[in-house]
Amino acid sequence: MQHVSKIVLTALLAAWLAAGSAAAGQTHVENLTARQAADLIAGHRRDPSFVILDVRTPVEFKAGHIQGAVLMDYYDSNFAKRLKRLDRRQTYLIYCRSGARSGRTLQLIKDLGFGRVYHLERGILSWRREKLPLVKESGQANR
């Protein structure tokens, strides 16, 4: 009986240590309103480790995107491969049109062990509702 107790205790200790190390590598995700996202962007304007990731299609991106955003089309056949190549130590703000694609991307990001990710709730639609500036393909900002 004492032998079984040691095995159970050892197994519990191993599980606890594994959970602790997994928690240390967890992705920090924070959902933001459009105004909060705009403030976050303003605060990271000169931060090279801050990336705005637009997971919409190229057509949607050309129609208007957040200044400085990098396009990574969710529907591209290489999307998952491209996502895997991103630096997990950087901080990301991710968005799409309504929050659906970026929400699904968050699960991939969590699985890959990214450090800190912000998610624009309700996507670019919420950004537009707040009349925040967008950049069109020509490079001109509009509201």
2-18 tens-digit pLDDT: 544 445 434 433 443 33
Q: Do the domain assignments include residue 101? A: yes
- pLDDT single digits (tens) 36-81: 999 999 999 999 999 999 999 999 999 999 999 999 999 999 999 9
Residues 31, 140: Cα–Cα separation, whole Å: 28
Give the pLDDT score at 65.
98
Q: Do the domain assignments include residue 74? A: yes
Please tell me the pTM assigned to this model: 0.79
Residues 103, 124: Cα–Cα separation, whole Å: 13
Q: Do the domain assignments include residue 73? A: yes
- pLDDT single digits (tens) 89-107: 999 999 999 999 999 999 9
Domain count, the chain: 1
CATH number at residue 39: 3.40.250.10
- How do 134-135 and 141-142 pair as beta strands? antiparallel
